[in-house]
Structure 1
Amino acid sequence: MLYDFIEYEQRLADAELISVRDTDGLLVEVQQGALWLTEEGGEDIWLDQGARYQTHGRGKVVMEAQSGTLIRWRANGQPSQTSPSRLKALWNRLGLGVGEAT
């Protein structure tokens, strides 16, 4: 199970794109700047500084940074379908190189 102590911050350059899959139950928080986000099968969402969004599906999520964005990824604080191995795979796809999630 994942809990809210599993988190990571990432700084994104202006107009930098991130595309990830299998993000069910992860919370994306905009710490600085702004972020455009769309989840497969969902609507486009604009997140300003301080805003957050929790992913709902196992599909693709695409994000574009605006204004030197700093985001925080974390588990939703409750058990979810996101296993530690899926979270590690997500971090590796983002190039974050974190170790085993426990």
Structure 2
Amino acid sequence: MKINATDTVRFDGVGSNGFSSGAFSRVSTGAVGNGSDIQINTGSLEVTNGAFLSTSTLGEGNAGRIKINATDTVRFDGFGSNGFISSASRLHYLFGSLLQR
């Protein structure tokens, strides 16, 4: 997934369904293959109030990478109403255990 913006990319908060806003790439349980990268090219990036960027694999394969290219600022700030902190993560689940890379 590639997001290109000349000004600001903003992910903010939690929806009424309790899910955080953000960008996500995932290989599901039982699936085989690699997840796609999340690449953001922008002036500024804001991930706030519990929003997050995430690549993960629950199946067999590699999670994608998170690549941020910003010419100005990158800001991760705050907690969402669901209790999650604004963040970026790349997670691999292997045989019932969690490996964070």
TM-score band, normalised by the shorter chain?
under 0.3
Which protein has greater RCO, CA pairs closer than 8 Å, 6+ apart?
Answer: 1
- Normalised TM-score (structure 2): 0.25
Structure possessing the higher radius of gyration over alpha carbons: 2
Higher-helix-fraction structure = 1
- Normalised TM-score (structure 1): 0.25
